[in-house]
Amino acid sequence: MITRDRKIDDMTTYYFVAASQRFLLEEEPFDEVLQERYRRYKSEEREVDFWLIKQPAFLEAPELAEIKAKCPQPSAAVVSTDKVFVTWLKLRLEYVAVGEFEAPSESIPDPLASLEAAAT
């Protein structure tokens, strides 16, 4: 679905919506939204700039503690470098936390990392 082929060497601002995994992955027809966006990017030959992350590690950063506290666990997030897309997601989904961060940084070395154990 969505690949992780973005270079993470340079400091970049990332925008996100976060909510419980249940809300994003079960209660909302969210996969359809992301699939449509993905198809649109491919048809426009545009680089994908959004990622769905289960249990995003960036929420462990001290500067995001307030947002993490508002987000039921286990959480999921859509992270993007496109602020307009994240604003649109917030308006569409309503019951999500919204924020931004810069990475890579000392507290967020990998902006797309997940705390979810890899399935074996």
Residue 44 in any domain: the answer is yes
Which tens digit of pLDDT belongs to each residue from 43-93? 999 999 999 999 999 999 999 999 999 999 999 999 999 999 999 999 988
Overall domain count for the chain? 1
Which tens digit of pLDDT belongs to each residue from 12-21? 999 999 999 9
Which pLDDT score, from 0 to 100, does residue 9 have? Answer: 56
Phi, psi of 3 (to 5 degrees): -95, 165
Q: Domain containing 34 — which CATH number?
A: 3.30.70.1860
Tell me the pTM.
0.86
Buried b (16+ CB within 10 A) or exposed e, 46-70: eebebbbbebbbbbebeebeebbee
State which amino acid sits at residue 82: D
